[in-house]
Structure 1
Amino acid sequence: MDPQSLDWLHRLIGSGADTITWWQMSIRAAVLFLIGLIYVRLADRRAFGKLGAFDIILAIIVGSNVSRAITATAPFVPTVAATGVLVLMHGLFTHIASRSHAFGMVIKGREKQLMKDGVLDRRAMSVSGVTVGDMREAARLKGKSDLAPFKDAYLERNGSISLISRD
C-alpha cells in the first residue's frame, strides 16, 4: 500500500505522540471506543461478570488514558479531552438507549432464553457458554437445590442467569 494513500488518516488522527492535537486524540478515543465496544460485544458476555460491554469498554479506555496522562506517556490536555469525549459518548449513548429499544439492544445486547417450561435449551446454553453446573449454581443462589422449581431461565445482558419460578 502506498504510504501517501494514508495521508488523510494521518491528518485525521495524527501520526506521532509529539505532534498529535487534542482533537486528533479525541477522534482516536471515539473510534477506539466504538471498536472496543464491538470487540467486547463479540466476546462471551459471561467473561466480564456483571458489567455490560458498554461499561467495560469505557472503564478499560478511561483507565488506560488516565494511566498514560499520569505517567506522562501521553500529553495531559489531549488525553483529558479524549477521555472527556468518551465519558460524554457513554452518557449520550445511555440516554439514547433508554429511549430507543433498538439502540439499547445494539449497545447492551439482549437476553437469551436458556430454559423454557422446565426444559433446558442445550443449544442456547452451548452458544452462550453456560453449563448445567452454571444453571444449578443459579438455582442454589435462589435457595433451591435443583432446577425443578423453575419454569424459565435467561442469560441476562449483564451475564447473570435469572430463574423464573413455576408458581
Structure 2
Amino acid sequence: MPVLNSIFDLSVPPLEIVLRGSATYIALLVMMRVVGQREAGGLGITDVLLVVLVAQAAAVGLHGNASSVTDGAVLVLTILFWSVVFDAVSYRWPRLGRLIKPQPRPLIRGGELDQRVLRRELMSREEVSAQLRLHGVEDPAEVERAFIEPNGLISIVRRDHGEPDGPAAPDLTR
C-alpha cells in the first residue's frame, strides 16, 4: 500500500503549485495578447492557452518522478480557476474584457487596407490577398469591411453585401 499513497500524496506544497500555475497562466495570457491575433489560428487565444496548460499540468501527475496525481490535479484546478475568472471578468466588465480578450481588428475599410493593423499583426498584402481569395474575393476594392477576428480568421463584408464564399473545404470524395 505505500506505493498507492505515494501516487496521491502531495510532493510539493499546494500554495507553491497554485502560485506557479497562476503566474504561468497570467504570464502566458499576457504574452499571447502581445503576439497578436493571427497566431491563434482557428481557436481563441484563451482556448489555446487552456488546452496547452491543462495538458502540461495533467502530464505532471502522469510522471512517476517527484510529482503525484494530486499535484497535477491541484495545478489543473488552478488553471481552470483562472480561465473561468478571466471569462467571468470579461463578461461582467466589458471594458476590462477588452484588455483580457482580443477584439476584431479592421483590416479593410471601404476597400482600403489598414496598414497600421497589417503592421501590428505582421501580415503582408499577399497574405491578406490569399485570405480574400479563399472567400471568393479577387480585389480588396470589392470589400466594404474585413476584420481579423479574435480567433485569427478573417471575416469579410462585401460592398455589394453579397455573401462571400467561405474557405473551401477539402474534397474528401476522392
Fold shared per TM-score above 0.5:
yes
One-letter amino acid matched to 1:28: R
Number of residue pairs matched by the alignment: 150
With structure 2 as the length reference, what TM-score do the two structures score? 0.76
Q: How does 1:1-167 map to 2 (within 5 A)?
A: 20-73=12-65, 74-167=67-160
Runs of 4+ in 1 over 3 A off after TM superposition: none
Q: 2:37, 2:150 within 8 Å by CA — same for their partners in 1?
A: yes
Q: 2:108, 2:147 within 8 Å by CA — same for their partners in 1?
A: yes
Alpha-carbon distance between aligned partners in 2 of 1:143 and 1:59, rounded to the nearest angstrom:
33
SS across alignment from 2:62: helix
Q: 1:22, 1:77 within 8 Å by CA — same for their partners in 2?
A: no
SS across alignment from 2:70: helix
SS across alignment from 1:140: helix
How far is 1:37 from its partner?
0.7
Alpha-carbon distance between aligned partners in 2 of 1:100 and 1:141, rounded to the nearest angstrom:
36
SS across alignment from 1:148: helix
Q: 1:48, 1:159 within 8 Å by CA — same for their partners in 2?
A: yes
With structure 1 as the length reference, what TM-score do the two structures score? 0.79
Gaps of 5+ in 2: 1-9, 161-174
Q: 1:138, 1:162 within 8 Å by CA — same for their partners in 2?
A: no
Alpha-carbon distance between aligned partners in 1 of 2:154 and 2:32, rounded to the nearest angstrom:
19
